[in-house]
Amino acid sequence: MSKKPLCAYFCMEYGLDPSFKIYSGGLGILAGDILKAAHDLEMPMVGVGILWRQGYDRQVIHENGRPMDCFPEYRYDFLKDTGVEVSVEIRGREVRAKVWLCDCFGNVPLYLLDTNLPDNNDSLLTGQLYGWFNEERIAQEMILGIGGIRALEALHMKPDLYHFNDSHPAFAGLELIRREMEKDGITFQEARESVRRSIVFTTHTPVEAGNEVHSHDLLQYMGAYNGLDKEDIIDLGGDPFNMTVASLRMSYMANGVAQLHGETARKMWAKVEDAAPILAITNGVHNGTWQDAQVYSAYREEGDLMAAHGEAKRKMIDEIERRNGVRLKEDVLTIGFARRAAPYKRGNLIFGRMEVVEPLLKEGKLQIIFSGKAHPNDLTGKDIVAEYYAMSQKYPESIVFVQDYDMTVGALLTRGCDVWLNNPRRPMEASGTSGMKAAMNGVLNLSVLDGWWPEGCEHGANGWQIGDGYEGEDQDELDRESLYKVLLTEVIPTYYEDKEKWAKMMRASISMATDRFSAARMVHEYYDLMYSQKPEENTAEKKASK
C-alpha cells in the first residue's frame, strides 16, 4: 500500500470536547470528529485553527423570556506553547499570533493561533468565534489562512496537501500562491495552477445567499490581497469576492457532505468556470464520542437494548430535572429537536395545528425536548429560541427547553430521546449529523428526506420519513400534515402497542448507522477519493498553458 499523504486540515472551529469552547456547531463538530478518526486510524493529518478566547456564545434565557448572550473568557492549561509566533499584516499593521499545540490526539497535532498577546495590534481578534462584523471576520480569516500557512512553515511541517473545511480558510490559498510566485519567479496564473494541485475543499452551504462574499474595497483595505494584484483576485473569486467560488477555483477537488448535497452543490456552482469537480462524501460522526457504550454493547451482544436505552433516557431526564427543575416521565414517548435556531429548520412545524398536538401533550402521550442557540446577531433566530421557551412555559409537564445547546446537551439528547425529529425545508440541510448520532444510539429518526437521511432511511424499518422529498410552495403545509400522519398512525402506535417492533427498529437503526455513518468511513473516503487523487504535475501544466 502506498504511503498516505500528510493533510493539513484548516477549519475555523473544532468541536473536540464540551469544555474546549472553540466551536459553534455542526461544522466544528465535524472537524473535531475528523481529527479524532484520523487519530484512531493513524492517518497522517495536522489540524490548523484558532484559539477562541471567548468561544462562540453562552446563551441563557433572560427573565423576559428571551435569549441573552454571555462571553466568558476561557483558559486552557493543557495547551502547549510551541514558542512559535507568526505575523500577518492586517489594515496596514503587523498583527502577531502565537501558536499553541493541542496534542490530545497523538499523531494528529492541532495548532491554534492566538492574537491575545501583550502589546499586540488587534489582540482581541481571536476573541469571539463568528463574532462582530465584516472587517473582523475577514481579519480572523486572514489569521487562520495566511497565519496558518506561516505557522506550519515555522513549525517545519511539510504537508502534501491542504484541506479547506468550508471557505473560511480561503486566504491560505493566497498565501500559498504568493510563496510560489516569490520562490520560482512565476506569474500568478502559473502559481495558481501549481498550488491547485495540493488543495481540496469541502463546501457546506446549500443556499447561495449563505456563502460568504466580500467587497473588493474592503478586502483591499484589510490587506487580504496579501500583496497580489486586484485583477488576479477578481479573476479568482469574482466581484464581489465569493469565498466559495475562490475555493472551488483553488482546489483540484471538492466535496459536498451528503449524496443529495453533492447534487445540490453541483447544480448551484455549475456556472462557475474552472471550478473543481464536486464529489459527495457523506459526513459521519465519531463513534467513540457519540455512541453510548452500554447501548452499543447491548446491540452487539444481543442484550437488552430497551433496558440500555432506558438507562440513557433516565440519565437525560435526571440532568434535565437538575437544570430545569422539571421531571419528564420515563414511559412517555419523547421527541428531541435540537438544532441551531434558524428559520429553515422549522422547529415550530409541529405546532402548526395545535388542535392535533395539544391533546397528545395533555393526555401524556408525548413529550418534546427542544434545545438550540441563535447567533448573537440573529434576531429572527432569537425569536425562535424565545418561542421554544414560551412553549415550555405553556406546557410545563410535556415540553422542555434546554438552554445553551452545546456538545454536552447534544450528546445527552441524541442518547436519551426516543425519536429524533428533523424537518428542515428541503434542500437546505447539507447533512445533519445529529441524526446520525441519534441513529447510532437506537434513537429513531423521524425526518424529511434531506441531508443524509435519504441514504439511511428505510421507512418503518429503521426510522420514518416525513413527506416524499417534495420541494415547492406548499412544502410547509404538506410536510406538517405528513409529520402528523406518521406520528399518529405509525410512531405513537408502535411505541405504545408494539414494543417488540420498536426494539427491532432500534436494532436496525444502530446497524444502519454504526459503520456507514461513522467518521472512520468518512476519513477513509477523504484519503481514498480526494487526498490520494492529487493530479500529476504535467496534466495541470497542460491546462495552465491552454
Is the preceding peptide bond at 240 cis, omega within 30 degrees of 0?
yes
Binding mask 301-340 for ligand PLP (x = CB under 6 A): --------------------------------------x-
CB atoms within 10 A of CB 227: 12
Kindly list the distances between the CA atom of residue 348 and the CA atoms of 384, 431, 511, in Å, as whole numbers in the listed order. Answer: 8, 20, 31
Q: Between 147 and 256, name the residue whose CB sits nearer to ligand PLP.
A: 256
407 binds ligand PLP (CB under 6 A): yes
Interface residue with ligand PLP, options 289, 291, 434, 509 (CB under 6 A): 434
Mode of pairing for the β-strands spanning 80-90 and 213-214: unpaired
| In the complex, least distance from residue 517 CB atom to ligand PLP, rounded to whole angstroms | 12
Q: Which residue has the cell 477519493?
A: 529
29 binds ligand PLP (CB under 6 A): yes
Kindly calculate the radius of gyration of the chain based on its CA atoms and give it in whole angstroms: 24
Sign, Cα dihedral of 511, 512, 515, 517: negative
Interface residue with ligand PLP, options 56, 388, 405, 464 (CB under 6 A): 405
Q: Which stretch binds ligand PLP (CB under 6 A): 74-82, 291-299, 392-400, 430-438?
A: 430-438
Cβ pair 241, 225 in contact under 8 A: no
Q: Which residues pair with 399 in a beta bridge?
A: 368
Cβ pair 223, 89 in contact under 8 A: yes
Q: Between 242 and 423, name the residue whose CB sits nearer to ligand PLP.
A: 423
Interface residue with ligand PLP, options 433, 441, 462, 518 (CB under 6 A): 433
| In the complex, least distance from residue 435 CB atom to ligand PLP, rounded to whole angstroms | 6
Q: Which stretch binds ligand PLP (CB under 6 A): 267-275, 307-315, 318-326, 402-410?
A: 402-410
DSSP string of 276-344? PPEEE----B-HHHHS-HHHHHHHHTT--HHHHHHHHHHHHHHHHHHHHS----TTSEEEEEE----GG
Q: Which stretch binds ligand PLP (CB under 6 A): 156-164, 190-198, 320-328, 406-414?
A: 406-414
21 binds ligand PLP (CB under 6 A): no
Please tell me the count of residues contacting ligand PLP according to CB under 6 A: 13
Q: Which stretch binds ligand PLP (CB under 6 A): 142-150, 401-409, 513-521, 523-531?
A: 401-409
| In the complex, least distance from residue 13 CB atom to ligand PLP, rounded to whole angstroms | 11
26 binds ligand PLP (CB under 6 A): yes
Cβ pair 450, 424 in contact under 8 A: yes
What span, in angstroms and rounded, lies between the C-alpha atoms of 232 and 221? 16
What span, in angstroms and rounded, lies between the C-alpha atoms of 201 and 1? 25
Q: Between 249 and 345, name the residue whose CB sits nearer to ligand PLP.
A: 345
What span, in angstroms and rounded, lies between the C-alpha atoms of 258 and 276? 17
Q: Which stretch binds ligand PLP (CB under 6 A): 151-159, 358-366, 428-436, 479-487?
A: 428-436
Q: Between 148 and 432, name the residue whose CB sits nearer to ligand PLP.
A: 432
Interface residue with ligand PLP, options 173, 347, 376, 410 (CB under 6 A): 410
Interface residue with ligand PLP, options 69, 114, 136, 406 (CB under 6 A): 406
| In the complex, least distance from residue 406 CB atom to ligand PLP, rounded to whole angstroms | 5
Q: How far is CA 167 from the centre of its chain?
A: 13
Q: Which residues pair with 193 in a beta bridge?
A: none
| In the complex, least distance from residue 433 CB atom to ligand PLP, rounded to whole angstroms | 5
Binding positions for ligand PLP, rule: CB under 6 A: 25-26, 29, 339, 405-407, 410, 432-435, 437
